[in-house]
């Protein structure tokens, strides 16, 4: 029998993309413009390309799925405030690479006010930007900067004939990324679905695990489920680390054999309609935790559960992280992996040897999603609609000064959470993390 197919959530509609553009433009001066290029195809080798993935910022404002597009926003423009440039129609090429919407299709299917094909881009852009005082673009994106510079340069060259180039460039990132930080109901549905697919994939990998397989076999189980459920694949390179490979935070080789007696750490999440899931689970290859693994696991699990309980409006990621650090440090002191006083081991940084990363990041279209973590130099309070991960871990080096039973153990437990008015909703609860539940799941297959 084929595995179950989860019902797909609704795609985000044109009305929402239009509202997002309107919300952004409401923050901009009337005589400004926004230039936002989409992504372009990237060569993988010779004449083959990586699968196309639209740029997150561009997708957020358009939903337009083709490469080499450009969005221009012109607040207050009578002929239309949202102008999209897209690939030229090219019937011969389309036989090879698929239908292009062209200007006509882009306007019809994506609800922008005007659309033009790229052949017209240069002349039209000059016309559209002439007289716009401030041009907003992504300062971190070299393509945006080059594009804006080129337009400015051409308009400046025509200044004696009355052209008015932009007088200032401004960074679009703070405004747009603040908007992206608070997720809409439709975005939360997609994130819930990405979480649900990711959870099923982890269950599948857990059920399949046994000594004699390699890390890549579990990667194959995970990624089969991502695609089976209609996801585009992993939201980031899947991490499957057996034994001490779990201590390499972004281990992606996934080539080593899985050995009985070792733990395996899987950090992997599906991308669905461009939204990311991000789950980590750690479990025994052979289905039973050893005593030392169980003791360390209990410390990480309790830190994670307490952190989840702390997620609610008003608290901060820094406060949640501090709680996790305290709990992990106390656990290591209790197990004899750190000496002396808990506060002293936090203050002198000894805990960083075992827990070098932070506890949370924003999650959305990007796995490490956009949005400021601090406001006026202070950690910002959480508010409803923010989506984040909680992912404490312990990574015990294979060093001589460490008790032998603990050497080379890496454990991380990660879930995805949305902040709600009442507290939080865990989006990835459907994959076991209690020792008994993991052992039971692994036993049943």
- Least Å distance between CB 312 and ligand GLY? 22
Other C-beta atoms within 10 Å of 86: how many? 28
Measured CA angle at 408 (ends 405, 414), to 5 deg: 110
Give 274 or 342: the residue with its C-beta nearer to Mn ion: 274
The one catalytic residue among 47, 376, 378, 400: 47
The residue from 52, 139, 216, 236 that contacts ligand GLY (CB under 6 A) is 236
The residue from 117, 215, 225, 267 that contacts ligand GLY (CB under 6 A) is 267
Query: x/- site string to ligand GLY, residues 193 to 232, per CB under 6 A?
Result: ----------------------------------------
217 is catalytic: no
Give the whole-angstrom CA distance, residue 223 versus residue 202.
Answer: 10
By a kind-dependent CB cut-off of 5 to 8 A, residue 100 interacts, out of Mn ion, ligand GLY, none, with none
104 is catalytic: no
The one catalytic residue among 189, 215, 221, 414: 414
415 is catalytic: no
395 is catalytic: yes
By a kind-dependent CB cut-off of 5 to 8 A, residue 236 interacts, out of Mn ion, ligand GLY, none, with ligand GLY
Q: Is 389 in the site for Mn ion (CB under 5 A)?
A: yes
321 is catalytic: no
CB 395 within 8 A of CB 354: yes
Give the whole-angstrom CA distance, residue 330 versus residue 411.
Answer: 16
CB 98 within 8 A of CB 90: no
Other C-beta atoms within 10 Å of 108: how many? 12
Q: Is 391 in the site for ligand GLY (CB under 6 A)?
A: yes
193 is catalytic: no
The residue from 278, 369, 415, 416 that contacts Mn ion (CB under 5 A) is 278
Sign of CA dihedral 372, 376, 377, 380: negative
Query: x/- site string to ligand GLY, residues 143 to 172, per CB under 6 A?
Result: ------------------------------
- Least Å distance between CB 6 and ligand GLY? 22
Query: x/- site string to ligand GLY, residues 308 to 347, per CB under 6 A?
Result: ----------------------------------------
- Least Å distance between CB 366 and ligand GLY? 11
Give 363 or 396: the residue with its C-beta nearer to Mn ion: 363
Residues in the chain: 445
Scored b (16 or more CB within 10 A) or e, 435-444 reads beebbebbee
Give the whole-angstrom CA distance, residue 119 versus residue 296.
Answer: 61
Give the whole-angstrom CA distance, residue 16 versus residue 38.
Answer: 19
Give the whole-angstrom CA distance, residue 118 versus residue 94.
Answer: 16
What is the CA 255 to chain-centroid distance, rounded? Answer: 25
Q: Is 415 in the site for Mn ion (CB under 5 A)?
A: no
Site for ligand GLY in 412-431 (CB under 6 A): 414
Q: Is 66 in the site for Mn ion (CB under 5 A)?
A: no
DSSP string of 208-257?
H--BTBBHHHHHHHHHHHHHHTT--EESS--EEEEGGGGGSTT-----SB
Give 221 or 278: the residue with its C-beta nearer to ligand GLY: 278
Q: How far is CA 98 from CA 52, 90, 91, 109, in A?
A: 13, 10, 9, 16
Binding range to Mn ion, per CB under 5 A, among 218-226, 325-333, 387-395, 433-441: 387-395
The one catalytic residue among 368, 372, 375, 437: 368
- Least Å distance between CB 337 and ligand GLY? 23
Find all residues with CB under 8 Å of 285, minimum gap 6, and list them. Answer: 209, 210, 211, 242, 258, 259, 260, 261, 262, 263, 264
Binding site for Mn ion (CB under 5 A): 267, 278, 389, 414
Provide the annotated active-site residues: 47, 250, 267, 278, 357, 361, 368, 391, 395, 412, 414
Binding site for ligand GLY (CB under 6 A): 236, 267, 278, 361, 367, 391, 414
């Amino acid at each position: 029998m084929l595995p179950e197919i989860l019902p797909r959530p609704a795609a985000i509609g044109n009305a929402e993309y239009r509202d997002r553009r309107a919300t952004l433009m409401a923050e901009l001066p009337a005589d400004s413009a926004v230039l936002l290029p989409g992504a372009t195809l990237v060569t993988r080798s010779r004449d083959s390309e990586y699968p196309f993935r639209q740029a997150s910022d561009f997708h957020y404002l358009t939903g337009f799925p083709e490469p080499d597009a450009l969005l221009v926003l012109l607040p207050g423009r009578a002929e239309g405030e949202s102008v999209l440039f897209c690939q030229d129609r090219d019937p011969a090429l389309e036989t090879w690479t698929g239908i292009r919407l062209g200007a006509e299709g882009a306007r019809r299917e994506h609800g922008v006010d005007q659309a033009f094909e790229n052949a017209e881009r240069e002349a039209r852009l000059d016309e559209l930007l002439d007289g716009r005082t401030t041009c907003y673009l992504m300062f971190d994106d070299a393509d945006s900067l080059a594009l804006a510079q080129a337009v400015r340069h051409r308009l400046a060259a025509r200044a004696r004939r009355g052209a008015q180039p932009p007088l200032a460039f401004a960074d679009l990132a703070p405004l747009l990324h603040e908007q992206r930080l608070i997720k809409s109901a439709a975005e939360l549905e997609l994130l819930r679905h990405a979480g649900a697919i990711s959870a099923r994939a982890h269950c599948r990998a857990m059920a399949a695990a046994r000594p004699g397989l390699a890390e890549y076999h579990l990667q194959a189980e995970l990624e089969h489920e991502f695609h089976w459920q209609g996801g585009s694949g992993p939201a980031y390179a899947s991490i499957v680390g057996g034994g001490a490979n779990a201590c390499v935070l972004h281990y992606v080789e996934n080539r080593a054999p899985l050995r009985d007696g070792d733990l395996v750490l899987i950090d992997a999440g599906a991308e669905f309609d461009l939204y990311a899931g991000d789950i980590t689970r750690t479990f025994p290859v052979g289905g039973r935790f050893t005593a030392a693994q169980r003791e360390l696991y209990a410390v990480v699990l309790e830190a994670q559960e307490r952190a989840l309980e702390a997620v609610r409006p008003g608290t901060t990621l820094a406060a949640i992280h501090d709680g996790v650090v305290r709990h992990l440090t106390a656990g290591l002191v209790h197990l004899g992996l750190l000496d002396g006083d808990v506060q002293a081991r936090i203050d002198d940084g000894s805990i960083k040897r075992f827990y070098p990363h932070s506890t949370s990041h924003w999650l959305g279209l990007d796995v490490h999603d956009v949005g400021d973590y601090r406001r006026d130099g202070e950690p910002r309070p959480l508010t409803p609609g923010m989506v984040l991960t909680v992912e404490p871990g312990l990574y015990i080096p294979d060093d001589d000064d460490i008790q032998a039973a603990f050497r080379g153990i890496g454990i991380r437990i990660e879930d995805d959470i949305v902040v709600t008015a009442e507290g939080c909703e865990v989006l990835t609860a459907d994959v076991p993390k209690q020792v008994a539940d993991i052992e039971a799941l692994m036993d049943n297959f």
